[in-house]
Chain A
Amino acid sequence: MEMTTGAEAELILVCRKVSGGYSVDAQPHREVLKSISFQVHAGECLSIAGPSGSGKSALLRLLNRFDDPAQGEICFRGKPLQRFDPLEIRRRIALVLQNPVMFHGTVRENLLRRPGRQDLSEPPLVQALEEVGLDRSFLDRIATELSGGEKQRISIARSLLGGPEILLLDEPTSALDPRSLRLVADLITQLNRVRGLTLIVVTHQVDLIHRLGGRVLVLDRGQVVREVRAEQAGSLLEEHE
C-alpha cells in the first residue's frame, strides 16, 4: 500500500529492505528488524506504531545513525546515510529521546548545550521556546526542576535550535499525563503543519496517532505488518497488542 502527500513533494527519507538494529529496552541483540522498507516525503508526518518489542525504537535509532543496519540501505535526500558525516546527520535529522534529559543549570544553558560555537543572543532561544508553547520567562528557570511535559518541550526546543530537516520523536508523550499529552501532541502537530517540519514519531498511543494524523507504519516482531491512515490505526493497534 503506497500513499503520497502530493506528487511534487521530495522524497526526503527512503528505507530499503533494512534489517538489523538493536533493541533498546531488552537485552540488546542483533536482527531486531527484518527487511523494512518505507519512504517519507518532505513535510510529512509519519507515525511508527506497534507493541513494545516490535522494533519501533530500534528503527528510529537507525535513522539518525545511532546504529547502522546489518543489511539494507537508508537514503536521506537521495544519498545513503553512511556517505554523510554522522555528526552532520544528527543535526539535520534530530532525535528527541523518550526521557528528556536536562543538564544542570538554567533552561538557557540547556538550550545552548549544542555543538560548535553558540550564538548567545536571546531572540533565537525565545523563538524556539515559543515554538514549543513556552515563553521567555522559562529561560532563567532551573531546567531540572521543570515538570515532565515542560522538560519534554525544552528538549524539543533544543533540537529545533539545530535547524533540523527531520525531527524524530521516540515516544514523546508516554511519560506524560493526559493534559500534557494533548499539549505536546498539539505542538508537535504545529511544527509539522506550520513550520513544515518532517516528523517521524514512534508511539504506541492511539490518542497521539489520531492527533498527529498522516500515515502510520504498524510494526510487529520487527516487520512492517500494515501501513494505514491515522484514522484507521485504532482498531488495528489493539489487534496487534
Chain B
Amino acid sequence: MKPIIDVETLHLVLALLLVLAVLAISYRERLGLERDLIIATARTFLQLFVVGYFLVYLFAWDRWELVLLTLTLMLAAASWIAVGRLKRPVPGARWMAVVSLAVGSAITLTFVTYVVIGVEPWYDPRYVIPIGGMILGNAMTGAALAGERFQSELRSRVEEVETLLALGFSGLEAVQDLYRSAIRAAMIPTINAMLAVGIVQLPGMMTGQILSGTSPLIAVKYQVVVMLMITCAVALSSILFLRLAVRQYLTPAHQLRRQLIL
C-alpha cells in the first residue's frame, strides 16, 4: 500500500487561497461576509490544531482518567451549546441537557466501544474520543431540535392543549401530540442521513479513514456502526431531554405555565 501523503505545512497555507477567492467574491458581490469568513477560518485553524495536539498527547499518555475527563469536558460543552440553541430555555434546561446527553451518550458509547467494536483496553482514546465526539455532537443537535420544536408547537397549539386540559386530561396527556412531533422532528435529520448515506457523498469519517489508507470495506463497517449509534444516541438523548423539559411547562396541578411560552 502506498504511504499516506502528509499535507505539507506550506501546502496547507496554499489551501488558504480557496478562502481568499471567496473573500474576493464576497467583496466584489458585497456579500458582507469578509469579517465572518476571516474569523471562521482563523478559528478553524486554531481549534483543529489545538485539538490535534491535544489528541497527540492524550494518545501518548494513554490514561483512562484523562479519557474520562476529556469526555466530561466534551459533555459540558455539548450541553452548553444545546441549551444555547434554544430561544427561550426552560428553567433548569442546562442540567437537563447534561443528564440527557450523559445518559444517552454513555449508553451508546459503552455499547459501541465495548460490545460492537471490542476496544482494548476499554478506554483506548484513539477509539473512545472520536466516537464519543460524534455521539455527543449528534445527541446535542437532537436534544436542541426537540426542545425548540416542542416550544414552537406549544406556542402555536396552546389553545388545543388548553382545550384538552379543560376537558380533564392530565398535563402530560394534553401535550402528548406535541411531544411526539418534537421527537419526530429531532429524529428526521438522522433518518434522512441514513437514507442518503453513500449515494452522493461519503460521510466525513469514512472519507477520512479511506484517505488515511484504511480499506474501504473496513471504513464501510465503521460507517454503518456510526450511523446506527447516532440514531440511537439522538433518540435516547432527545427523548430524555424532552421528558425532563416538558414537566417544566406544567405544574403538579396540571396547569400550563403560560409565562414560559408567550
Which of A's residues lie within 8 Å of B, judged by CB? 22, 24, 27-28, 64-68, 86-88, 90-91, 94-97, 99, 101, 103, 113-115, 155, 158-159, 162
Contacts and interface: CB of A to CB of B under 8 A. Distances in A.
A113 B258 CA distance: 23
Interface of B: 159-160, 162-170, 173, 253-256, 258-259, 262
Given A68-B255, A99-B159, A115 B262 contact: no
Contact of A103 (B160, B168, B259): B160
A101 B163 contact: yes
26 contacts: A27-B262, A28-B262, A66-B162, A66-B166, A66-B256, A67-B255, A86-B253, A86-B254, A87-B168, A87-B170, A87-B254, A90-B165, A90-B168, A90-B254, A91-B167, A91-B168, A97-B159, A97-B163, A97-B166, A99-B159, A114-B167, A115-B173, A155-B163, A159-B166, A159-B167, A162-B168
Nearest to A113: B167
A159 B165 CA distance: 11
Given A101-B159, A101-B160, A158 B167 contact: yes
A159 B166 CA distance: 8
B167 A28 contact: no
Contacts, number: 61
Contacts of B165: 66, 90
B168 A22 contact: no
Nearest to B163: A101
Residue among B170, B173, B262 facing the most chain A CB atoms (10 A cut-off): B262
Given A65-B253, A68-B255, A115 B163 contact: no
Contacts of A64: 166
Contacts of A158: 167
B259 A96 contact: no
Contacts of B256: 66
A101 B168 CA distance: 15
A96 B159 CA distance: 11
Contacts of A103: 160
A162 B162 CA distance: 16
B254 A97 contact: no
Contacts of A88: 168
Q: What 10 A-B pairs come out closest when comparing CB atoms?
A: A101-B163, A91-B168, A95-B166, A86-B253, A90-B168, A115-B168, A115-B169, A28-B259, A101-B160, A87-B168
Contacts of B167: 90-91, 94, 113-115, 158-159, 162
A101 B174 CA distance: 13
B166 A86 contact: no
A86 B254 CA distance: 7
Contacts of B168: 87-88, 90-91, 114-115, 162
